[in-house]
Chain A
Amino acid sequence: MATITAAPARTLPAFLKNRAVAKLAVLAVLALVLVPLAHARWASGTWPDALTVDLSGPLTGASDWIIDNRDSHPLFLYFFGHVSNAVVLSVRAVYLALLAAGWAGVTALGAFVAWRAAGARLALGTAAAFLACGLLGMWVPTMQTLALMTVAVLASVLVGALLGLAAGLSDRLDRVLRPVLDTMQVLPAFAYLLPVVLVFGIGVPAAVLATVVYAAPPMARLTALGLRGADRGVLEAVESLGATSRQRLLTARIPLARKELLLGVNQTIMMALSMAVIASVIGAGGLGDRVYQALASVDVGAALAAGIPIVLLAVVLDRVTGAAGAGDSGAGAAPAGRRAWPYALGAAVAVAVAGRLAGRTDWPDAWTANIAEPVNRAVDWMTGHLYTGIPVIGGTADWAGRFTTWVLDPLRDGLQWLPWWSVLLVVAASAWLIGTWRTTLTAVLAMAAIGVLGVWEPSLDTLSQVLAAVAVTLVLGVATGVAAARSDRVERLLRPVLDVCQTMPQFVYLIPVVALAGVGRAPAVAAAVVYALPAVVRITAQGLRQVDPAALESARSLGATSGQQLRQVQLPLARRSLLLAVNQGVVLVLAVVIIGGLVGGGALGYDVVFGLAQGDLATGLVAGAAIVCLGLTLDRVTQPTDRRTAKGA
């Protein structure tokens, strides 16, 4: 890409040799020509009405058509019907199998798998996690979630691997798929629940399909990466042995890509699990539904009781698949295990059978601990004391009020006051400075599409919330990341906290956040910060740690203080990671600011919830599309030129 922009620069005056300046100059020329034209034709600050398309008519028509034809049209009878059927049957099969194994059996088998894949410590952890789910009184919902997850993850891995295989083997398909996968990754899941529900109705099939759309891209991307990255030497060696292309694929390229494939599975599992909660809005059942129902009765304790098993599942699955992907650690952790594993498998099966024989397949009611009450008392105490009236610093509600008045309001009003073409110019300039003309074009077109959809004002409102949240996230995240990079102790202490923040369903935060900050945009921003912070902290810390030790060493030998080392060596060298952190922060913040519609965030998030709640495709889908466009714009504007590998750090 650089060649394209650099080519004209060679013939230009010296100060334009600088690529950034050249890009800006081109934009300025374009603006000089286009802006007066646009201004003469539509002299308005906000997006001109003449350039909008009202989709509510056709969308309502489409929604009515689907509802009227869902039980008779061949498309539904012969295609969607079978898809939906297959999902229901497979989820049911897994669920019944899990119930049949009983709690003892599931725990024993889980521990066994963890032991084979990741060693004895994780096996113990896995067993403890399963028992904790039972202890919290969440055994059946946990099994429902697990059944749903199993099917969704298998489907995502299958779809992702097939797409990845295609992209990995064919350059043309790679070019075609790349933007598709990019788009799928920046889609906030909340935005496309509505169309899925309309076609499949509420319930498990819709939830599984929404999850697959959300969770398949990392698998596809990592599969393609693994296939493309295979060692040339090995491939040539295999070829020289006369292997056919299929043999080459099966015996060399896929095994060589094992690490990426397993990382892909790991990412897919994590994303599917986070989706399992969001899908509760459309009737997926399981743990997510418990969290959602607890939210409805303002019961943080009960929400937490259902949220903890999700965190435990996430941590266990992450560590186990992560360890399996990290190479031969599974075998390395249990060298004696090679002989012992048939016995261990036998023992696990024996536990399952014994559990069944004892007639104890259901988790015994007497063995549950009620954490809801103490948690609620703690939350009440906290919100009662922190809400307002603390001397000098003021309570959280006062902070939230000030944040709204001093940051969110000016930001929103400022953005909405800006003439529409200047917003497009700002988008173009920032996207081009950091990326290529292609990413710039996508960003500008996506932003323009928001105007065309007729939701310019609410989108800028959402944008103002995103910008404010990203700013806070970056300040906190980079500071914490620096601390974590410089001290192993801090990093060890932070790790579980980050795990919990990252995997705890966002719905659990919403009520305490309202109790602390009141209804409005401030709690939405606060929830987004909590959710996006871990990824930023992790990427920053990792980036700083990877800085070439030699560079640091030489800086030290020149007598640089620790602050100078950080500012002049580590941070500049970790620039790429920091940019990635910004990008991830933006994408994650957007996903939660949308859910903030549930606590008074308003704008696009509210419209999506409204569309879901009222079955109003016109409002919901347009807002959803606007969110997607906003996501694309923000992603492109913050995207360092080369691609990241996976969402969610």
Chain B
Amino acid sequence: MFRRTTRRALRTTTRRTARRTALVASAAVLTLATGCGAADMTRQASPFANAGGAKTVTLSVQSWVGAQANVAVAQYLLEHELGYRVDTVQVDEVPAWDALSQGRVDALLEDWGHPEQEQRYVKDKKTVTRAGDLGVTGHIGWYVPTYFAERHPDIKDWRNLDKYADEFRTPESGSKGQLMDGSPSYVTNDKALVENLDLDYQVVFAGSEAAQITQIRQFAKERKPFLTYWYSPQWLFEKVPMTEVKLPPHEEGCDADPAKVACGYPHTPLQKYLNTDFAETGGEAAAFLKKFRWTTEDQNEVSLMIADQKLSPDEAAKAWVQRHESTWRAWLP
């Protein structure tokens, strides 16, 4: 009796494996046979997607923690409430637009404003669809640590920056003050700004958000003065309080010519975008991602758990989900 069950189980397993192998093999043969047919590479999902026959959604993650927080919570709810399998791909914003258009990823949850990409993919090619506000407003600016701003209140105006240039010097910036910029994927006009506002500063690119955060924390530990490009919402403000330095006010179109920019950065309501096909046929997952909308405080709560308490994104999302049921209930289709 026992033996028979095992054998049957064995047979079903082998049969299942065989069927799967046959499927893969026939797909391979199909491509070979249709070698003369067209192969649209804009319709190829990741080879790791849908393994084991699950419904899969692929989300793009950008390098900053806020974006990780969005994705972590969306992923947790998609997996635990809607029964999807979620794949994530780490990719910067601009390549993410391209990946969205190609269907390599299904959604971009936090876009900081890329008019050129929007024109190309949303308006012209119609391969990407808007999915509404994320609910968070982003703002870029120049910041000094609050402990420094309290000692020197006049630092809060850009006109007084030159007075303190010496204090912001590092070996890397040489004889000028250091303005630390971050990842190359960020939207920034800082080089032009320093030039056009005629400041005695040298822009030093940290090259990645991770490097920038690490450096800021080292400075803060020693309570050293520093001037950095930074943005909100950002969890680091909780750990290292920073005060914004006022730049000339932003007006519509004042940053149109990158060489002549002499104004600060706008406040941007962050946007979500979906692959058009996915938006139309993505079923519950697409409906859920369109409704996903939370606040700056929510996002920071999750970000802080990920980046500072070193919880995994999944654990952080779980903790937030347990505490905010009323918020996310409304997102479910």
Contacts and interface: CB of A to CB of B under 8 A. Distances in A.
A77 interface: yes
Contacts of A78: 36, 38-39
A92 B91 contact: no
B41 A200 contact: yes
- Among A384, A387, A614, chain B packs the most CB atoms within 10 A around the CB of A614
A86 B36 CA distance: 14
Interface in B14-48: 17, 20-21, 24-25, 27-28, 31, 35-36, 38-42, 44-48
Interface residues of A, number: 88
Contact of B94 (A70, A88, A282, A614): A614
A609 B207 contact: yes
Interface in A509-528: 510-511, 514-515, 518-523
Contact of B171 (A514, A520, A605): A520
B42 A521 contact: no
A95 B74 CA distance: 26
A476 interface: no
- Among A70, A99, A296, A353, chain B packs the most CB atoms within 10 A around the CB of A296
Given A86-B31, A93-B28, A81 B95 contact: no
SS of B interface (majority): helix
Nearest to A80: B41
B20 A96 contact: yes
Given A519-B204, A599-B206, A613-B184, A99 B307 contact: no
Interface string A115-159: 000000000000000000000000000001001000000000000
A82 B39 contact: yes
Given A77-B40, A81-B39, A202-B95, A519 B31 contact: no
Given A518-B218, A612-B92, A405 B210 contact: no
A400 interface: yes
A598 interface: yes
B221 interface: yes
Contact of A197 (B89, B95, B97, B312): B95
Contacts of A200: 41
Nearest to B52: A99
Given A89-B31, A511-B211, A613-B95, A70 B47 contact: no
Contacts of B310: 299, 301-302, 372-373, 376
B208 A357 contact: no
A297 B47 contact: no
A148 to B, nearest CB: 8
Given A67-B120, A297-B68, A615-B98, A201 B104 contact: yes
Interface string A50-62: 0000000000000
B313 to A, nearest CB: 8
SS of A interface (majority): helix
Given A71-B42, A95-B51, A296-B63, A89 B28 contact: yes
Nearest to A413: B174
Interface string B85-102: 001111111110111001
A306 to B, nearest CB: 12
B322 interface: no
Interface string A599-622: 111100110011011110000000
A577 interface: no
Interface in B53-98: 61, 63-65, 68, 87-95, 97-98
Given A201-B104, A372-B310, A518-B218, A296 B64 contact: yes
Contact of A520 (B89, B170, B306): B170
B211 A519 contact: yes
Interface of B: 6, 9-10, 13, 17, 20-21, 24-25, 27-28, 31, 35-36, 38-42, 44-48, 51-52, 61, 63-65, 68, 87-95, 97-99, 102, 104, 120, 170-172, 174, 180, 183-185, 204-215, 218, 221-222, 306-307, 310, 312-313
For the complex of A and B, the 3 pairs showing the least CB-CB separation, nearest first, are: A81-B39, A613-B185, A92-B47
Interface of A: 67, 70-71, 76-78, 80-82, 84-86, 88-93, 95-97, 99-100, 144, 147, 197, 200-205, 280, 282-283, 285, 289, 292-293, 295-299, 301-302, 353, 356-357, 372-373, 376, 383-384, 387-388, 397, 400-402, 404-405, 409, 510-511, 514-515, 518-523, 596-602, 605-606, 609-610, 612-615
Given A202-B104, A298-B307, 18 more contacts: A86-B31, A92-B48, A96-B51, A197-B95, A289-B89, A293-B61, A296-B90, A298-B214, A302-B312, A357-B9, A404-B172, A510-B210, A520-B204, A599-B208, A602-B207, A609-B184, A613-B94, A615-B95
